[in-house]
Chain A
Amino acid sequence: MSVLEMSDGAVELGGRTVWRDASFQLEAGTITAVLGPNGSGKSTLLKVVLGLIPLSGGMLRVFGERPERGSRRVGYMAQSRVADTMSAMTGRDYVGLGFDGPRFGWGHDRTKREVVREALILTGTELFADRPLASLSGGQRQRIAMAHATVFQPGLLLLDEPLAALDIAAQSEIVELTSTVSERTGAAVVVVAHDLNPLSAIVDQVLWIARRQVRSGTVDDVVNEATLSDLYGHPIEIVVTPRGRRVIVGLEEEFAHPHPHGSDHSHENEHAHGHEAHLEGAHVHHTPGDPR
């Protein structure tokens, strides 16, 4: 049985179709990258799987059942967190909230300490888990957030832009961690990203969302000129560098609204930082010929 199965899924928000005709499956132990322009509905897809937004059509089964909000079997790592800027919260505290944060009342679970410790070990964060989150590097915070999301060793792990705002070294650290977590826990992992290149070595499947459509398949199935040109409705060119990176030309949509979600002022600097990393490291959208 697949971890997740969607057939002909469609979502409407405020009377507008976000995407439709989405059909794909996620298998245990695989990693799926979700790509596409800003506002195309990548985060919406995660919210649908979490049971926070209902499908307006089609069918979705998570572990063979309708998605259930608050399920421990689905781990979720949000894109930005207030906790990251806190000097009065340690990584261990934050991971602990993943364990019993949703629970009201006085009870204290004796297993908490051990479960949290296991999550810290799995993500290699024990050494800095007792330092304030605000004092950690971006990569260290993402590792802690990964521990938070995997505290119950979920069978399905959803990561919303885990590589955004990280420098190249931290990006590859998180990519490696994602692969390790998937291997050790057998989780099906979904990674929302802006750029396929840092992930290409670990990705088994790609979901590309654009113009209300969702294409799924292996990297070669989806990331080719014919499929993307069809998806975007205009010619897309892909140049593969000698080191195997893909430079994709023609995704103009991405230039029009680089950061429409940039209302969170505390992260402006990080965004700028992430952007730089983007230029250096390459990839999907910036090439010498591009109008920038």
Chain B
Amino acid sequence: MSLSQLLSTTFVQHAFYAVTAVALAAGAIGYFVVLRRQAFAAHAIGHVGFAGAAGAVWLGLSPIVGLLVFCLGAGILIGLGGASLDESDAVVGVTLTAALGLGVLFISLYSGYANATYSILFGQILGVTSSDVLLVTLLSAAVLFVLTLVYRPLLFISVDAQSAEARGLSARTMSLLFMGLLAVTTVVAIQIVGVLLVFSLLVAPASAAEVTTSRPLYAAGLSMGIALFSAWCGLLLGVWIGGPVSFWITALAATSYLVARLTGGLRTSPRQRSVA
């Protein structure tokens, strides 16, 4: 089959719509993950999702049900327990290990073929059905919609928590809200790149954007752009050359961060300048 024929097949088109929705949501939320230094929380929520998916499979439910329940639950726990960004590490760590333990238990209880679990771990972009596409698109759109409404207060509390609280914002409410958005985004991204590589879309594009631009809104936009570029090109390369699509997406996202750091490093480091 030629590339153009491949691209016109239904499963590739489904995958195309799905990665587009996921990349936009993950790129935008990822900006705040990086800004709030909550990469560990993002990582944990993905792994907690794995336990949820394994549990759902064991109970004979759709993995996405387990993902949603566990990811949102973990998001609420982390959001409540770690409202102060300084103290969240322990809460995240305990939530993460407790859930992974459950995941191990669920897998051992489930006697069937573990294909569903495998796709949760590594993503199954080319197996996306039209109902998956609809769900992924709706959830991503919901995340982006809410994010546009809370963008300013979330930015404020992330960059200057004390002033923001003095001006009437609640750190705990904002933390919960953000963790909720992150949880939904993670559930969606897991469909495409899997638990183990959820980071590739959440952290790498945003980190690349953060070192490249000087304005928050540009950085968030650029983060979405890099995520979209990585996702589209990753899908294309996976279909064209072969190899797992999630590998290509991860490789491209990581490369974009590397390029941003290298080109950014050519300029004088701002922090060094300020010390001098």
Contact = CB atoms under 8 A, between A and B. Distances in A.
A102 B169 contact: yes
B144 to A, nearest CB: 13
A81 B160 contact: yes
Nearest to B219: A88
Interface stretch (A12-20, A131-139, A181-189, A236-244): A131-139
B159 A135 contact: no
Main secondary structure of the interface of B (DSSP, over half): helix
Contact of B156 (A52, A85, A97, A131): A97
A264 B37 CA distance: 13
B274 A97 contact: no
Interface residues on B, range: 35 or more
Interface stretch (A27-35, A103-111, A275-283): A103-111
Nearest to B213: A88
Interface stretch (A69-77, A116-124, A219-227): A69-77
A27 B272 CA distance: 42
Interface string B2-31: 000000000000000000000000000000
B213 to A, nearest CB: 6
Contacts of B165: 52
Nearest to B218: A88
Interface residues on A, range: 35 or more
Given A89-B216, A135-B270, A106 B166 contact: no
Contacts of B152: 97, 100-104
B228 to A, nearest CB: 19
A173 to B, nearest CB: 15
Contacts of A52: 165-166
Given A86-B159, A135-B270, A101 B215 contact: no
Interface of B: 35, 86, 148-150, 152-153, 155-156, 158-169, 209-211, 213-216, 218-219, 270-271, 273-275
16 contacts: A52-B166, A70-B166, A76-B167, A78-B161, A78-B166, A86-B159, A87-B211, A88-B214, A88-B219, A93-B216, A100-B152, A102-B153, A103-B153, A104-B149, A132-B270, A269-B275
